């Protein structure tokens, strides 16, 4: 019975990794659509995000079934509960990629990103892709050192977030109110995507060690 439980737990972990990989594909597709004002790519991203939402329902059901029928204890319980939390974070990453894609669709055929801030938005997209890639790797390795690196990557996203907001409220902003509003929303979408990727790392640390991320970071730096 316990062998079957652990097989089911391993299968759930594999599904979570697949969900994170799809988040990466979705945000990459949504970013490309945004920068190119590509309606077809935007729709592709929205479709991918729909698949992520379906995976959330399936993975939540799998985790709840393990809780209800397999009576996990100690570290097993920690893994199942953390998996439920991971599902929520990964689903939210997909939802935020969906929001990015929908901005493209809303403004098409115009491009929602003015040339003046295109480099910043492109870097935010690249940072989001990199963080989703790192989160997916951590879900496989469960390496606390790799997981804490996500916080460093998030620092870059925070810096880009501030830069974009500074640009749209600057006195010399000349691209209009509507693009400024769109960009403020987009900045938030990318920043929150990154925040959830960091949480994936934090929850993975907890699964692997049973300790909070801050405590593990202290031990790693000692």
Instruction: Write the pLDDT tens digit of every residue in 114-164.
Output: 999 999 999 999 999 999 999 999 999 988 888 888 989 999 999 999 999
Using CA atoms, how far apart are residues 100 and 106, in angstroms rounded to an integer?
10
Tokens read off for 138: 């951590």
Q: Hey, which bits of 81-201 come out as E strands?
A: none
Percentage above 90 pLDDT, the chain: 71
Q: Is the pTM of this model over 0.95?
A: no
Q: How far is CA 22 from CA 2, 27, 54, 167, 192, in A?
A: 30, 9, 12, 31, 17
For residues 74 and 208, which has the higher predicted lDDT (pLDDT)?
208
221 alpha-carbon distance from chain centroid: 26
Q: What is the structure's pLDDT at 198?
A: 96
Least confident of 24-38, 89-103, 147-161, 181-195: 147-161
Domains and CATH numbers, the chain: 2-221 (1.20.58.220)
Using CA atoms, how far apart are residues 48 and 23, in angstroms rounded to an integer?
8
**pLDDT bracket for residue 35 (50, 70, 90):** very high
Q: How far is CA 1 from CA 4, 69, 70, in A?
A: 5, 11, 8
**pLDDT bracket for residue 71 (50, 70, 90):** low
């Amino acid at each position: 019975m316990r062998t079957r439980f652990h097989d089911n737990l391993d299968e759930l972990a594999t599904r979570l990794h697949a969900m994170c990989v799809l988040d990466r594909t979705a945000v990459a597709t949504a970013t490309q659509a945004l920068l190119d004002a590509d309606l077809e790519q935007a729709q592709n991203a929205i479709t991918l995000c729909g698949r992520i939402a379906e995976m959330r329902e399936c993975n939540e059901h799998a985790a709840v079934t393990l809780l209800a029928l397999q009576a996990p204890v100690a570290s097993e319980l920690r893994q199942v509960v953390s998996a439920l939390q991971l599902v929520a974070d990964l689903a939210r990453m997909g939802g935020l990629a969906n929001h990015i894609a929908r901005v493209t669709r809303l403004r098409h055929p115009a491009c929602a990103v003015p040339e003046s801030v295109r480099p910043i938005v492109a870097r935010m997209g690249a940072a989001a892709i990199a963080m989703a890639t790192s989160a997916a790797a951590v879900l496989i390795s469960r390496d606390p050192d790799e997981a804490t690196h996500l916080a460093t990557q998030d620092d870059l996203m925070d810096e880009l977030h501030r830069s974009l907001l500074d640009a749209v409220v600057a006195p010399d902003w000349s691209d209009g109110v509507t693009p400024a509003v769109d960009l403020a929303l987009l900045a938030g979408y990318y920043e929150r995507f990154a925040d959830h990727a960091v949480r994936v790392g934090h929850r993975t640390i907890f699964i692997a060690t049973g300790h909070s991320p801050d405590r593990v970071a202290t031990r790693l730096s000692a």
